[in-house]
Structure 1
Amino acid sequence: MVDRVLGQLSLADGLAVSDETIFDLVAKEIDWGPIDGLLGARSGAGPGTASYPAPVLMRCLLLGAWHGLSDPALEAQIRDRLSFRRFAGFSLSDRTPDHSTLWRFREELTRERLIDKVFEEINRQLEDKGLIVKRGTLVDASFLQARGRPPKQPKKGHQGPVKPSADKDARWGKKGKKSTFGYKMHIGVDQDHTLIRRVEVSDASVTDTEPADALISGDERAVYGDQAYYTHARHARLVEAGIKDRLMRRPNKHHPELPPRQKRRNQLIAKVRAAVERPFAVFKESYAMRRLRFFNLAANRMQCMLAACAYNLRRMVSTLHPPGEKPA
């Protein structure tokens, strides 16, 4: 069994001309060869139905992430939209994958954590282009609602077990007065172009500070974060590594009121770290991630990693090709 041969252009493909899209710019700026090598071939030896190549399916999933599409909706859009077909590598005559094929490939990426390698390779190329500057890292986290309903609360006097949630990995988390049942996405973002360098995904009960050290790359000059991230131990580790501590300070029982100098420092840090909200806004408004699609941590982590890949590719294009720029 071999991978399908796709993208062989016919006269009809030559006649189906459309304007350059953002997908075409992504395709031009990224060297897909190393990514294709990471994903490898999906077909084994011997006879059988030819499989869709992994790089083609990877690009299909990126299209789904950019548009917040479910796999059935993505199947329909790939079949019908010329720009989708062109980016994924299908000619007008090629048969496109159905939603079950997309689902199985997503499972492969989840099971083998190949998406992590793709994310690292994309970031390597972004660094080579000079887009990851390492002047500073902004750290933050945001709640994402679970698809499954929370465990049903028993009525007063109820006897017997409580009905569990369909999502056994999701947990309750609270920020201020608002509680969320689901997950939390933690990111470390490069200061200059808000490109995501590190991603951690946990259930919602995990505090912001617990995975924070994993969000620090170690080669940045400073780390910016809100009051939830400051600890004496983290401050000491940053100083030892030669990284400037730009974590906001918070009052405590010994110092219930911050001195004016610390308040002013927090205000200056807040202006810089506010840019870390950009990726979360994109995830929730454009990528339909206010509520996650899957019922376990592994699958939802895959969705978050895919979203980080998609976000970085779009930020790359918007940085290298600002709106209004005339094509070369």
Structure 2
Amino acid sequence: MVDRVLGQLSLADGFAASDETIFDLIAKELDWAPIRTLLGHRSGPGSGNTSYPAEPLVRCLLLGVWHGLSDPALEAQIRDRLSFRRFAGFSLSDRTPDHSTLWRFREELTRERLIDKIFEEINRQLEAKSLIVKRGTLVDATFLQARGRPPKQPKKGHHGPIKPSSDKDARWGKKGKKSTFGYKMHIGADQAHTIIRRVEVSDASLTDTEPADQLICGDEKAAYGDQAYYTHARHDRLAEANIKDRLMRRANKHHPELPPRQKLRNRLIAKVRAAVERPFAVFKEHYGMRRVRFFNLATNRTQCMLAACAYNLRTMIGALFPPAERRA
């Protein structure tokens, strides 16, 4: 059994051609051949129904992220929109995948960690285009609210078991006075274009500083982060790796007041590290990720990795084809 053949254009497809979109630019700029090789064939040996190739399904999931669509909504849009069909590689006569096919493919990416390989390959190509300059890495984290409700709080005098959340992987996390039940996404972004180079996803109870070392690649010249990331041990590790420590300092019980020099240093660092908020704003405002879509850490991690891929590809087009040039 072989993967089904898609994208064989007919005369009708030529008449249905529309104006070039940003997704057409992404399709042209990214070399999909290495991604096809990484994903391999989905159809097993023997007779039976052919499967959709992996590459068009990856493209479909990226379209879903860019437009903040659920799988059923994505199924409908792929079926009806010419630009979606063109980017995913479906002709007008091709049968498009349904929402259960998209869901099962996402589970394949989760189970075999293929999404990590896709993310690494995209970043390899972005580095080859000189879009990752390694001048500095900006680290930060954000809360993502769980899909399921938090465990039900017992009433006064209640002695029975507490009703658990439908999301058993989510936990409570707190920043300042605000508590969130869900997950936390940690990223390390390149200073030049805020292209995301490292992603870690945890439950919300994990502190920002715990996965911080995994967000620093080791080939950058400096690491920028807010006060939550500074420790003496991390400072020593950065110095040993010849990476400049640009982590903001905070007061402690031994030094309850920062000296003016440190306050000025913090303000200068804050101006640089503020750019790391841009990916999070895109995720929540445009990709619909204020609340995660799934009920376990593994699948939500895959969705976060897909979002990082989608963000990096859009950033690539913004850097290579500024809006003024695209309008011209």
Give the TM interval when normalised to the shorter protein. over 0.9
Letter in 2 for 1:258: L
Q: Distance in 1 between matches of 2:189 and 2:327?
A: 29
Residue 53 of structure 1 pairs with residue 53 of structure 2 = yes
Q: Distance in 2 between matches of 1:4 and 1:324?
A: 40
Q: Identity, % of aligned pairs?
A: 85
Q: CA deviation at 1:327?
A: 7.5
Residue 80 of structure 1 pairs with residue 53 of structure 2 = no
Q: Distance in 1 between matches of 2:150 and 2:162?
A: 11
Letter in 2 for 1:146: A
Aligned residue in 2 for 1:108: 108
Q: CA deviation at 1:187?
A: 0.1
**1:12-161 mapped onto 2 (5 Å cutoff):** 12-161=12-161
Q: Which runs of 5+ in 2 are unaligned?
A: none
Q: Distance in 2 between matches of 1:45 and 1:296?
A: 32
Q: Residues 226 and 24 of structure 1: is their aligned pair in 2 closer, same or farther, counting only changes over 3 Å?
A: same
**1:151-300 mapped onto 2 (5 Å cutoff):** 151-300=151-300
Q: Distance in 2 between matches of 1:87 and 1:36?
A: 15
Give the alignment's TM-score, normalised by structure 1: 0.99
Letter in 2 for 1:64: G
SS of residue matched to 2:325: coil
SS of residue matched to 2:323: coil
SS of residue matched to 1:324: helix
Q: CA deviation at 1:103?
A: 0.6
Q: Distance in 1 between matches of 2:324 and 2:222?
A: 33
The superposition leaves residues 104-142 of structure 1 with CA deviations (integer Å, 9 ceiling, x where unpaired) of: 100000000000000000000000000000000000000
SS of residue matched to 2:324: coil
SS of residue matched to 2:189: strand
* RMSD (Å) for aligned C-alpha atoms: 0.8
Deviant stretches of 4+, over 6 Å: none
Q: CA deviation at 1:326?
A: 4.5
Q: How many residues align?
A: 328
SS of residue matched to 1:325: helix
Q: Distance in 2 between matches of 1:183 and 1:115?
A: 19
Q: Distance in 1 between matches of 2:219 and 2:324?
A: 34
Letter in 1 for 2:30: I
Give the alignment's TM-score, normalised by structure 2: 0.99
Q: Which runs of 5+ in 1 are unaligned?
A: none
Q: Distance in 2 between matches of 1:158 and 1:118?
A: 49
